[in-house]
Amino acid sequence: MLRYIVRRLLLLIPILIGVSLLIFFWIRALPGSPAEALLGERATPALVQAYRQKYGLNKPIVQQYFTYLKTTAVDRDLGVSVASHRQVWSEIRLKFPATIELAVAAMIFAVVLGIPLGFFAAKHHGRLFDQLTLVGSLLGISIPIFFLAIILKYLFAVRWHLLPSVGRIDVTANVKHPTNFYVLDAIITGDWSTLWDVLKHLVLPAIALGSIPLAVITRITRAAVLDVQNEDYVRTARAKGLPPLTVDRRHILRNALLPVSTIIGLQTGLLLSGAVLTETVFAFPGMGSWLRDAIFNRDYPVLQGGILFLALVFVFVNLIVDISYAIINPRIRYS
């Protein structure tokens, strides 16, 4: 197991170099430049040249890449934002907790509903509940995140006034957030009114962001359970007279969770990209809205540092999923 983990960590090096190459040359292929995006109508040739010289954008592109690679890998410095003039790493520490809270809430929503729905749909294969589950999962995959987010926002916030529509917390709240994880900070300080307010702000974005993972997890769970419950060892367990609940929990669901855990890991990484649309609709101040603004501002350091950081998180999530295989099914061993 340890050898496998070390090997996967070493594979991070070529993966991150490849990601850095793609990011670096992709964002420089975008039309415009940081100076033109920020200066707008005031972008005179002299000011544009001053910006390019200040941020090293007048150097050959290959030299720019190796400078970026050195500052990132050796100096562990992601640079300074062209728009805000703040360290990119400082902004990541400020924005990433919001996206993590949103992604975790969305995944909890998807897993808590998706696995039971998929399991019971498989146990009632061909019946009305199974058909309704298939139709619902198809709708969940088909509806765009931003469209569902707008509908939820209109119904629950604008029309019925049940939940807040924007932000992470009430704008009038005056509380400290030492870790920037608002839920964790409220629990640590025992501020239950703030905790309730933060959770209310999370509900609509989490449902919108978790709709696609919910549909995918439901369908994969259903297919996995249908496949596992016809295996010989399941029929043997039933023939031995084991209680149906024991057979379902120990032999069917546990083995069906292997492909489901893979999907959960992949969907968790994809939530980070889906958060761009969700955070935009709900004005949620996380990584998604931060990167969106960076695209409009052609903020090269933010795009390079932010996307590289998200790629690193995605790879680590998948490593955790691979390791979880051995926990879910001890028969799996890594050589």
pLDDT at 72 over 90: no
Residue 179 has pLDDT above 80, yes or no: yes
Q: What is the mean pLDDT of residues 11-21?
A: 84
Q: Is residue 1 exposed (0-12), middle (13-18) or buried (19+ Cβ within 10 Å)?
A: exposed
Return the pLDDT at 324: 73
Residue 285 has pLDDT above 70, yes or no: yes
Max mean pLDDT among 78-82, 100-104, 309-313 falls in: 100-104
Which range scores top for mean pLDDT: 81-85, 106-110, 277-281, 319-323?
A: 106-110
What average pLDDT does the chain have? 86
In angstroms and rounded to an integer, the radius of gyration of the C-alpha atoms of the chain is: 24
pLDDT tens profile 50-65 = 877 877 778 888 888 8
pLDDT confidence of residue 207: 95
Q: What is the C-alpha end-to-end distance of the chain, expressed in Å?
A: 7
Computed from CA positions of residues 104, 110, 112, 115, in that sequence, does the dihedral angle turn out positive or negative? negative
**What domains appear along the chain, each with residue ranges and CATH number?**
2-74 (no CATH), 89-328 (1.10.3720.10)
CA distances from 75 to 3, 36, 59, 67, 69 (A): 28, 29, 20, 10, 9
For residue 141, give both structure tokens: 């995959």
The CA-based dihedral angle spanning residues 154, 156, 160, 165, taken in that order and rounded to the nearest 10 degrees? -70
Distance CA 243, CA 249 (A): 10
Which DSSP helix (H) or strand (E) runs through 140? helix 128-142
- The model carries a pTM of 0.86
The string of pLDDT tens digits covering residues 230-271 is 888 888 888 888 888 888 888 888 888 888 888 887 788 778
